[in-house]
Amino acid sequence: MDDTSVNTTRRSFSVREFCARHQISKPTALKEIHEGRLRTFRVGKLYRITPEAEAEWITDREREASAA
């Protein structure tokens, strides 16, 4: 199984996996992280994203879209 497939039992995802799941570029994801719009935790130099943080990010983007 490749690392871009949906697997809800995972405890966290890499930025690359998150980008593939949401069809966004890595620079866009990193901008979301650095602007505080996407919660992450770090393991060494790697950013990890939990399913809960992913769900929060989606909800926030949906709220922004409906307010526009």
Report pLDDT digits (tens) over 24-49: 999 999 999 999 999 999 999 999 99
Q: Which helix (H) or strand (E) holds 56?
A: helix 51-67
pLDDT at 8: 59
Distance (Å, rounded) from C-alpha 52 to C-alpha 32? 16
43 phi/psi in degrees, rounded to 5: -125, 105
Which pair of tokens denotes residue 17?
Answer: 């996996």
Which pair of tokens denotes residue 14?
Answer: 């890499």
**Residues present in the chain in total:** 68
* Residue 3 pLDDT greater than 80, yes or no: no
| pTM for this predicted structure | 0.80
pLDDT at 1: 47
pLDDT at 14: 97
Average pLDDT of the chain is 91
